[in-house]
Structure 1
Amino acid sequence: MTLTTIDLGGEAGKILAGLGVPAAVWQEGTLSVRSPVSGEKIGSVQEVGPDEAATAIEATHKAFLEWRLVPAPRRGELVRLLGEELRAAKDDLGRLVSIEAGKIVSEGLGEVQEMIDICDFAVGLSRQLYGLTIATERADHRMMETWHPLGVTGIISAFNFPVAVWSWNAALALVCGNSIVWKPSEKTPLTAIASQAIFEKALKRYIEAGNTAPANLSTLLIGGAPVGEALVDHPKVPLVSATGSTRMGRAVGPKLAARFARAILELGGNNAAIVTPTANLDLTLRGVAFAAMGTAGQRCTSLRRLFVHETVYDTLVPRLKKAYASVPVGSPLEAGTLVGPLIDEAAFNGMQKALAAAKQAGGTVTGGERLLAEEATSAFYVRPAIVEMPEQTGPVVEETFAPILYVIKYSDFDTALALNNAVPQGLSSSIFTNDMREAEAFVSARGSDCGIANVNIGPSGAEIGGAFGGEKETGGGRESGSDAWKGYMRRATNTVNYGSTLPLAQGVKFDIA
């Protein structure tokens, strides 16, 4: 295992310059940016404060007042052009994701592909913002529902999906007639700057083609927690879609509720999988390994808890340990690497703290040690860890954003299902089984209580088209697919009287002469 010796800052700068970003934006700021690949500094970006953020939000609100008047299919044309620009920039943006977030090459490119896919989805959606015609009890009347733009959509994204989450929200918000304000993670601002530049290229083409679009339709706010608070508290932001930890969600949710604003909260997921006696163990092994180790366990959908039936435990777990011991860990920029670095030292310390707590609770730890410390003293690579636990206790019921897989033996299906549901987080889940009754029970009303419930596939790997999110703890709405667009709009019920009389309550009369 070796680390690629390249000028990461120089390569990031070349990508940004190619997108038309002035060097001062990423070289002359107050916020230092470091790559988890080597720990080295790759940029210094310009930040804004709460007052500047408030001014920018006001400008974005003015943009909304104009954009809402543009017919939805014309709004969709802008998103179509955004998809084209993302296709042209896919390799560069994917590479920048790998440099700044530490994702392996295929995952960096895959994240940009999700951006492209949501644009395609949203373009079709721009001609399908349907309302219903509703049966009315009144003669010569028609009742219907109509959907209208909501306003400024605030987007707060996390480091683990630095660009895809923005696009999931932005593409839908734009076709729905909203303007957008984006606060990215302070750990991944360069990819946000690049995405904004790509959007501006699409917007320029849109206007050059004879379309009308206001200034400040999409605004990027780079800064710390006070900027996020300014976005959450602003009265002209009726919707905030926030991705991050449950701790962050508990802070954001009540603030939005206090001013009756909407929230789409996609928070950390302590995701589980159940392996039953009839499971195809070859398929299970691949699915578990990918879901638990991919992105160094830093997906919101990463597999963190595995319940294995006692009849297959001694067959599956040793094979899983062998896979963990042999998986290539190293620079995400090198071909053949499957597990890259943790985002920073804090993530490494959190992982070691969780492993120590697991041992204290009776767990047996395999793996989890730091790797490549001499080659990259400021980066944090680890061997993914398997922790065999006697029961679901201690750190198992808490989420650690690192490649830790807690494995627990079970004997009764209903017990395993109860364990799946017995944590407060509820983003994603899965079951590996060839028993139709178990599969159907798992996805039924009495089954998994998570927003995603999969059969014979791991909990990770969201796909455009299916609405994402919907955690049980937050009830925080959905994003990305299905009818999630309704969360970005407001619904009105309209009644039209096309007759010559107005029905009144029985016995009510008055003189209109």
Structure 2
Amino acid sequence: MTYVSTNPADLNDVVARVDLVGAEEFADAARLARRAQREWAGVPAPVRGQVVANIGRLVEANAEALARVVTREIGKPLAEARGEVQEIADTCAFFVGEGRRLYGQTVPSEMPDKQLFTFRNPVGVTAFITAGNFPVAVPSWYIVPALLCGNTVVWKPAEYSAAAAQAFYDIFTAAGLPEGVLNIVFAEGSQTYRGLELALERGLVDKVGFTGSSEVGALIGELCGRHLQSPCLELGGKNPMVITEDADLDLAVQGALFSGFGTGGQRCTSLGTAIVHESVHDEFLRRFAQATENAVVGDPFGDVLYGPMLDGKFAVGFEKYLGWIRDHHTVHGSTGVGRITESNPRKGFLGDPDGGLFYHPVIVAGVRPDDEVFRHETFGPLVGVTSYRELDQAVELANLPGYGLSSAIYTTDPGKVFAFRSGIGAGMVSVNNSTSGAEAHLPFGGNGRSGNGSRQSGVWVLDQFTRWQSVNWDYSGALQKAQVDTPAIEADLDFRLDG
């Protein structure tokens, strides 16, 4: 079966054609990775770090070309695509040093003539399934540290970002990776699941990473659990932004605009609901609606807030979410609702609206806790707005949907910041900043419906791709039994000071 990847801003532009494989081919790729893993693990970690350095240099040398492939294939604005490519370079820059810092520890023993040590060992073969909204940055969060730690990789990218994935793979292999260390597999979803199932049954995969929807993540987690494995799950979000009565409203509007509508709201960290104090609710809504109405949408190679939907399936999904708007809601911030066309135009649109999958931004005010639009992720340019009276109520509303990826609070009161931080269930908290954004040396990940607590980026991800091994070395010449033969020093426990 051949998959045709088209430009979502110009549906007549075919970007790539890729042959999709079946479940057995996925398992075969895992077998190749298994054969290559021991030799790759035997390469000293600082030398593996040098390969990571090579990758970073090649990414920087090809940054503009790679960014343009991303923009053409998924419609991400070019400025954001450049930032995404920079994220790969930043990730490589960080993990180059970790090749010299895969430290274990020397631990004091409770017995004489005995030493205790710990070592980090690679997990083995890793299998990563990634989404296409960040077709090169997110894979680097998995692949770079996994390779550095001595693992081999089977990578299944999204079909609709096939060209970007192939370019990414070509850069990595050009950096000096031996054959079989990094393997790319293009496959449809059900074949990927079956292939992963086969690989796990045959003992070919030791660690799974998945970025995508909460629903599919639950299936991946269940499958791995049957094989006593704990996957890395980075899933969806319904990311709240609390705006307090003392917030800088203009700054909050900027944050909401980028959080809610950057990449067309098609990020796992996109703003879901703005939870605004009742005293500033109306003024915030007015300013936010005005900023949204004035924002430029259209050709992603131009200066726009966002471009098209990533792929036709997301356009279909977004149409369903628009159907969740109810009579008690009010819609703001746009001259229309639904797909932007010549007959349903948007003021200031850049480019040919009928050429691609462009949608009006939508602000839905008056959302309630029992609304579908409040409780579920709405992957696309849609932001809900509701109000609160006390901060405890805002935190309760922020946690209510059960996701726990990203969150934000806008306030000038440090007390509110710490109250929000301690009450929110999200893995990431921003203060006076957007819900979106990551840095290569900070842990990224969520809880609840957003993930299983695993973290990407920074030193924290090393625990996902290594296993601790303890070594107990006794050179006393006799069998010493812990807790049994431990020397004891007696104290006079009846001692009392005189006077």
Q: Same fold (TM over 0.5)?
A: yes
Q: 2:55 corresponds to which residue? A: 82
SS at match of 2:231: strand
SS at match of 1:462: coil
1:506 to 1:68, Cα distance in 2 relative to 1, 3 A? closer
Q: 2:444 corresponds to which residue? A: 468
Check the 8 A contact 1:83/1:120 in 2, yes or no.
Answer: yes
Q: 1:438 corresponds to which residue? A: 416
- Equivalent-residue separation in structure 2 for 1:347 and 1:233 (angstroms): 29
Aligned-partner residue type, residue 466 of structure 1: L
Is 2:195 aligned against 1:230?
yes
**Residue-by-residue CA offset, 1:7-36 (whole Å, 9 max, x unaligned):** xxxxxxxxxxxxxxxxxxxxxx71111111
Check the 8 A contact 2:24/2:198 in 1, yes or no.
Answer: no
Check the 8 A contact 1:233/1:255 in 2, yes or no.
Answer: no
Is 2:271 aligned against 1:298?
no
Q: CA deviation at 1:97?
A: 0.3
1:228 to 1:111, Cα distance in 2 relative to 1, 3 A? farther
1:478 to 1:102, Cα distance in 2 relative to 1, 3 A? same
Compute the TM-score of the two structures, normalised by the length of structure 1.
Answer: 0.88
Matches within 5 A, 1:219-368: 219-225=183-189, 226-234=191-199, 235-334=203-302, 336-360=303-327, 362-366=328-332, 367=334, 368=337
**Residue-by-residue CA offset, 1:95-115 (whole Å, 9 max, x unaligned):** 000001110010111110000
Q: CA deviation at 1:215?
A: 1.4
Stretch deviating more after TM superposition (41-50 or 279-288) = 41-50
Matches within 5 A, 1:187-206: 187-203=160-176
- Equivalent-residue separation in structure 2 for 1:229 and 1:156 (angstroms): 13
Stretch deviating more after TM superposition (247-256 or 461-470) = 461-470
Check the 8 A contact 1:288/1:303 in 2, yes or no.
Answer: yes
- Equivalent-residue separation in structure 2 for 1:47 and 1:378 (angstroms): 27
1:218 to 1:505, Cα distance in 2 relative to 1, 3 A? closer
**Residue-by-residue CA offset, 1:418-474 (whole Å, 9 max, x unaligned):** 111111211100101111111011222xx1111101111111011111111132344
Q: CA deviation at 1:496?
A: 1.1
Q: CA deviation at 1:192?
A: 0.6
SS at match of 2:323: helix
Q: CA deviation at 1:340?
A: 0.5
Q: CA deviation at 1:507?
A: 8.9
Q: Percent of counterpart pairs with the same letter?
A: 36
Check the 8 A contact 1:39/1:376 in 2, yes or no.
Answer: no
Q: CA deviation at 1:134?
A: 2.4
Structure 2 unaligned segments of length 5 or more: list them. 344-351, 486-499
Stretch deviating more after TM superposition (222-231 or 155-164) = 222-231
SS at match of 1:382: coil
Pick the aligned partner of 1:371 from 336, 340, 343: 340
**Residue-by-residue CA offset, 1:359-391 (whole Å, 9 max, x unaligned):** 25x211223332245745452211211000242
Matches within 5 A, 1:411-490: 411-444=389-422, 447-473=423-449, 474-490=451-467
Q: 2:24 corresponds to which residue? A: 51
- Equivalent-residue separation in structure 2 for 1:373 and 1:156 (angstroms): 38
Compute the TM-score of the two structures, normalised by the length of structure 2.
Answer: 0.90
Q: CA deviation at 1:345?
A: 3.5
Check the 8 A contact 1:373/1:381 in 2, yes or no.
Answer: no
Check the 8 A contact 1:233/1:256 in 2, yes or no.
Answer: no
Check the 8 A contact 1:392/1:408 in 2, yes or no.
Answer: no
SS at match of 1:399: coil
Q: 2:111 corresponds to which residue? A: 138
Q: 2:35 corresponds to which residue? A: 62
- Equivalent-residue separation in structure 1 for 2:134 and 2:122 (angstroms): 26
Q: CA deviation at 1:500?
A: 2.7
Q: CA deviation at 1:348?
A: 2.7
- Equivalent-residue separation in structure 1 for 2:424 and 2:82 (angstroms): 31
Matches within 5 A, 1:33-182: 33-40=5-12, 41-182=14-155
Stretch deviating more after TM superposition (228-237 or 113-122) = 228-237
- Equivalent-residue separation in structure 2 for 1:505 and 1:384 (angstroms): 65
**Residue-by-residue CA offset, 1:28-81 (whole Å, 9 max, x unaligned):** x71111111112233211222111221121011111111011110000010100
Q: CA deviation at 1:505?
A: 7.5
Check the 8 A contact 1:98/1:332 in 2, yes or no.
Answer: yes
Q: How many residues align?
A: 467
Aligned-partner residue type, residue 37 of structure 1: A
Q: 1:389 corresponds to which residue? A: 366
Check the 8 A contact 2:405/2:447 in 1, yes or no.
Answer: yes
Check the 8 A contact 1:232/1:240 in 2, yes or no.
Answer: no
1:292 to 1:507, Cα distance in 2 relative to 1, 3 A? closer
- Equivalent-residue separation in structure 2 for 1:354 and 1:507 (angstroms): 64
Aligned-partner residue type, residue 42 of structure 1: V
Q: CA deviation at 1:227?
A: 2.4
- Equivalent-residue separation in structure 2 for 1:382 and 1:296 (angstroms): 8
- Equivalent-residue separation in structure 1 for 2:312 and 2:20 (angstroms): 23
SS at match of 2:128: strand
- Equivalent-residue separation in structure 2 for 1:507 and 1:266 (angstroms): 45
1:281 to 1:53, Cα distance in 2 relative to 1, 3 A? same
Is 2:475 aligned against 1:498?
yes
- Equivalent-residue separation in structure 1 for 2:184 and 2:363 (angstroms): 40
Aligned-partner residue type, residue 241 of structure 1: G
Q: 2:348 corresponds to which residue? A: none
The ranges of structure 1 where at least 4 consecutive aligned residues each deviate by more than 6 angstroms after the TM superposition are: 505-508
1:413 to 1:506, Cα distance in 2 relative to 1, 3 A? closer
1:176 to 1:130, Cα distance in 2 relative to 1, 3 A? same
Q: 1:398 corresponds to which residue? A: 376
Aligned-partner residue type, residue 468 of structure 1: F
1:330 to 1:505, Cα distance in 2 relative to 1, 3 A? closer
Q: 2:159 corresponds to which residue? A: 186
Check the 8 A contact 1:451/1:472 in 2, yes or no.
Answer: no
Structure 1 unaligned segments of length 5 or more: list them. 1-28, 204-212, 509-513
SS at match of 2:48: helix
SS at match of 2:459: coil
SS at match of 1:468: coil
